[in-house]
Structure 1
Amino acid sequence: MKVISLLVFAFLFVKISESSRILFVFPSPSKSHLIVVKGLSTTLAERGHDVTVVSPFPLDKPMKNYRDINVEIPQDEMEKFNTYVINNPKPNMFKLMPALFSILFKMSDNMFESEEFKKVLDEEKFDLVIIGMFFNNYLLGIGDHFKCPTMILSVTGTMTMLNVLVGNPLAVTSVQHSFFESGNMGTFSSRVANFLLHGSDYGFIALCDYLFKDRYNQYFPSDRYISYEEAKKNISMILVNTHFSQTYIRPFVPAMVEVGGLQIKPTPDKLPEKLEKWLDEASQHGVIFFSLGSNAKTSFLPTYKIEILLKVFSQLKQRVIMKWESDELEGKPNNVLISKWLPQDDILAHPNVRMFISHCGLGSVVEARYHGVPVVSMPLGIDQIKNAENIVNEGWSVKVDFKNLNEKDLFDAIKEILNDPRYNSKAKTLSVLYRDRPTSAREIASYWVEYVIRHRGAPHIRYPGTDLNFWQYNSIDVILFLLIIAYVLFKIFIVVMKMLMSKIFKQKKKSKTN
């Protein structure tokens, strides 16, 4: 009897601990985006799952249960794109978006033309596909190819294009649009502007769908795969890189879960010896960390802006760690350490870091918030402008106009944060709020990934609103119907009243005649 019990227990243990095969697909040119993705993919591999990641950025060191499939980036186009962004803090979106789409389309073509990825499509099976969502709805047919559930991981937070996929309410009267520049939603004019911005999203989505549908049909022919419209509805869950303490409070359906901070490691990695020594020896005045993100190259800045940065840094008592993509930097002050690549999260975790000068990408803002480091904001454009505005309004950042960068403004901003303890205090307070959660972002995300696998796509959490079109979802057809009914009833009322008045008038006239 004991032997049978042990065999049953062993069988159940094997079934419970059985690993799943998970495919991450993220042909994005942004390394910072992939850092967020890897926060989840590596955690799942550590939990025993068989993980395959399709991206341009493989792991630095091989890992058990983890396989990378490389996707080539069109380097020439990417460099032109980054140069344009870094030199145009408020870029022309009619130039920017076509250039970005061209890069993304070419990367997807490179992925499907890759012999290694073709082999995966032809020979392998997966229990779950996770798409790193970045203007690439045309990849949603991959889940149908493997006949398995599809999840989305959004590294950029929530936006209308994502909300409509799972029926997440837009709440236009109370939730600010990502491009809404004012923090005050109480005035009528603000609500009108917010409403129009949300409404314009539908036009942008329609344009994207027009472009994406053709590409989807190219990758997933209609005779073998579900339609583009069906693929958009075939999403089990969306994980978004936000936390309620960092953004405006908004409602969520069960199929959209916040997992902000995926890229943050539970314990920081040991820093390279040179970098660690530079930080450890700066206990008296501390260190300022300067980085414009993984995409923008500081070495591409105009010469006069580089000179401004170096001149300001040379006047500081603090040491400076600066991301610089070349081996040499002419005119570099002695208090500046340069490096082509820097472990941002690990640096911000060091207790001697006093300040972060950042472009305010979402990942950078999240890491600064988590570690309680005040920020000098130098947004380069797109979502970064809004991110910078948010943290300035929260009281732990000072913004510098990067387009019109000058020595005085930068120096004053740095000194204001260094000399006013309120910035550091506010950053520490927000850090406590951000960290206060039942478990880590990686554990939360891993739980929901395994939940979707366990329940074969978790169709029971699917919101019925995803089956409704724009007119139905917003009850526009119902409102029009009721208006028509009201109009008809009003017309009937008018006719009846005219008849009654006419009859009454005739009776009065008749009585007078008599």
Structure 2
Amino acid sequence: MQLQWILLLLTAVLMPLTCTSYRILFMGPFPAPSHWMWMEHFLKDLLQRGHQVTTLTNHPAKQTHPNLTEIIIDPKLNIAEHRPRENIFKMHFTSDFENLQMYWHVGLLSSEHALNDPKVKTLIASKDLEFDLVILEQFYHESFLMFAHKFKCPIVTLGTLGYADNMDHAMGLLTPWSIVPHLLVSYTDEMTFAQRAYNTYLSIYDALFRSWYYIPKMQEMAERHFGGYIEGPLPHVSDLEKNVSLMLINSHRSTDVPRPSMPGLIDVAGVHIKKTKPLPADLQEFLDNSKHGVIYFSVGSYMKSTDMPQEKISLILDAFSQLKQNVLWKFENSSIGHLPANVKIQSWLP
């Protein structure tokens, strides 16, 4: 009997060490499915560890969980209404400067859309909710950093797109532009003089116009949505960026260029990779019968191959037909027409 009481006492003492549960606000305001497919793995792990998680996202959970509370942005922003897919296929955003402005514009649009959702407004106005941690996607949603100030808790960000200069700057790093290429260019760390000059010019443009144009708009947005619900003056979002406790970046040293780092910048690329499952029989057979290997071709989840102009589809098929490798193309329907013998299409591929 005495032994039972000792075991019970030990259990009571050790439980706080092994079963600590935190209240976490987990936010992914951007509507692209590919972003959420990466982020949801973090959510699943948090729930498995017993934490109480409230999500703010465009994508309902595939399975219910007793520790999960969902705030679903509905309707989600239809980016194609503002940035038509056909413009991308027609290469209307061909310069790095236009692409940078496109990112800023889409970030402002998606942030404003999410903050205008009535359920999100209720969260902002809440007085009785408390959180121990805020987790936010690091993707042009700086106005959402104000949630960490509202709930007076640390914030961790998830960098779905990989590294960007502003992440370095927020952590106190000066990005060496002579060896670290800008996010939007495909250079390596061994740049020519002309490439270093262009990389520096683009990076300076990014830093200045982000500071003079983009961040002030995010600050105005944050003040407009949070101002009436937080006592005292609101901090500047650029200061909130510097208060981010940890950035988990979708990058890996084996695939990215060498760059300086800090303890608060952690590479986590591949964290979503789980134990493999058997492929469908037809795909496995296709792979097994491909003597020269297989090329997988997809334009992503937001972009659709079916939106591609027919002349571009024909050009791509003609190029594929000249390859010795077989090709798997994620094509959303069967309207593609005649296929070369080495090309197989499917609407979704595991």
Superposed pair shares fold, TM > 0.5:
yes
Q: Give the equivalent residue in structure 2 for 1:117.
A: 120
1:170-210 per-residue CA deviation (whole Å, 9 max, x = no partner) reads 23344333355554647666555444443333213212212
Over the matched positions of the two proteins, sequence identity in percent amounts to: 27
How many pairs align?
339
Distance 1:312 1:60, change over 3 A: farther
What corresponds to 2:13 in structure 1? 12
C-alpha distance 196-93 of structure 1, shift in aligned 2 (>3 A)? closer
Larger helix share, 1 or 2: 1
Cα distance per residue 1:202-257 (max 9 Å; x no partner) = 21321221221111111221752631244233211111111111112222111111
Structure-1 residue corresponding to 2:268: 259
Structure 2, unmatched stretches of 5+, are none
Shift of the alpha carbon at 1:61? Answer: 3.9
Please state if 1:214 is matched with 2:220: yes
Aligned to 1:205: 210
**Alignment counterpart, residue 235 of structure 2, candidates 205, 227, 237:** 227
Is residue 2:344 matched to residue 1:342?
Answer: no
Partners of 1:233 and 1:288 in 2: CA distance: 42
For the structure 1 residues 197 and 320, does the alpha-carbon distance in structure 2 shift closer, same or farther, using more than 3 Å as the test?
A: closer
Counterpart-to-counterpart distance in 2, 1:278 and 1:103: 36
Q: 1:252 to 1:80 in 2, by over 3 A?
A: closer
Structure 1 position 68, deviation (Å):
3.9
* Partner SS state of residue 22, structure 1: strand
Shift in alpha-carbon separation, 1:127–1:91, aligned structure 2, 3 A: same
Paired with 2:65 and 2:328, the residues of 1 have a C-alpha distance of: 30
- For 1:102 and 1:128, how far apart are their aligned partners in 2? 28
- Conserved? CA contact 2:41–2:272, under 8 Å: yes
User: Do the aligned partners of residues 191 and 93 (structure 1) sit closer, same or farther apart at CA in structure 2, a change above 3 Å counting?
Assistant: closer
Gaps of 5+ in 1: 344-514
Q: CA deviation at 1:128?
A: 0.9
Q: Distance in 2 between matches of 1:58 and 1:182?
A: 38
Displacement of 1:289 after TM fit?
Answer: 1.9
After TM superposition, give the deviation of residue 50 of structure 1 in Å.
2.4
Q: Match of 2:47?
A: 45
TM-score, structure 1 as length reference: 0.58
**Alignment-derived partner of residue 240 in structure 1:** 249
Q: Kindly provide the amino acid, as one letter, of the partner of residue 290 in structure 1.
A: F
User: Partners in 2 of 1:234 and 1:64 — Cα distance?
Assistant: 31
Task: Say which of 30, 50, 74 aligns to 2:32.
Answer: 30
Asked if 2 retains the 8 angstrom alpha-carbon contact of 1:323 and 1:341, the reply is yes
User: 1:277-296 maps to which residues of 2 (within 5 A)?
Assistant: 277-285=282-290, 286-296=293-303
Question: Contact (CA 8 Å) 1:298, 1:325: kept in 2 or not?
Answer: yes
Residue 154 of structure 1: how far off its partner (Å): 0.7
Say if 1:152 and 1:238, in contact at 8 Å, map to a contact too. Answer: yes
Give the corresponding residue for 2:174.
169
| TM-score (ref. length: structure 2) | 0.83
Partner of 1:512: none
Larger Rg: 1
Question: Would you say the 8 A contact 2:100–2:206 is kept in 1?
Answer: no
Could you tell me whether the CA contact under 8 Å between 1:157 and 1:240 is conserved in 2? yes
- SS of 1:151's partner is strand
Specify the alignment match of 1:54 in structure 2.
56
Alpha-carbon distance in 1 for matches of 2:46, 2:294: 35
Q: Is 1:308 the counterpart of 2:315 in the alignment?
A: yes
In structure 2, the residue corresponding to 1:171 is in which secondary structure?
coil
CA–CA distance in structure 2, aligned partners of residues 281 and 191 of structure 1: 44
- Contact 1:240/1:260, CA 8 A, preserved across alignment: yes
Deviations, residues 389-429 of structure 1 (Å, cap 9, x unaligned): xxxxxxxxxxxxxxxxxxxxxxxxxxxxxxxxxxxxxxxxx
Are residues 327 and 288 of structure 1, via their aligned partners in 2, closer, same or farther at CA, if it must alter by over 3 Å? same
Q: CA–CA distance in 1 between the matches of 2:54 and 2:349?
A: 26
